[in-house]
Amino acid sequence: MLVEKGYFLLNLCRMASLWHQDKYLVNPYTDKYETVEDLVQDIYNACEYALYPRNKIYFSKRELEIISHFKSFMDKNFGIDFWNEIEKIDNKTLVYSNKTWIKTREFAGAIIKRFGFSIEIFNYENF
């Protein structure tokens, strides 16, 4: 698999995996954890990186449309209102109850499947 596509999918898997979020957002170790801000920013950056003209050769036209749609979804749903809302809740509530977060996780999982992969093939221990 090409590095560019792998970079995009690895970051997307972090969002799609409830196991990953439970382990690194809800019940993190002191030395191994994930922040909501980093997770969202890394995924957004991966979308932007995939859509750079020089990287478009690594994705099919349909894959680029999907990535663009997901990036637009993030633009719409991760604005100031979202960040203000999550300041008032803990990560467990975010991961298990926040509708935007759950919808984003499901969308990320659907993209991975659409690309012909499964989140189970990625090794989260080494992220």
Token code pair at residue 39:
């997770």
> Across all residues in the chain, what is the average pLDDT?
91
**What percent of the chain has a predicted confidence (pLDDT) above 90?**
80
3-state percent helix, strand, coil for the chain, nearest multiple of 5: 75, 0, 25
User: Is the full-model pTM beyond 0.85?
Assistant: yes
Q: Cα–Cα distances in Å, from 83 out to 29, 79, 88, 92, 108?
A: 24, 7, 9, 15, 19
pLDDT above 50: residue 1: no
Find tokens 């663009």 and name the residue: 68
Query: Mind listing the pLDDT tens digit for each residue in 33-86?
Result: 999 999 999 999 999 999 999 998 999 999 999 999 999 999 999 999 999 999
pLDDT above 70: residue 21: yes
Q: In this predicted structure, which of 57-66, 67-76, 97-106, 116-125 has the lowest mean pLDDT?
A: 116-125
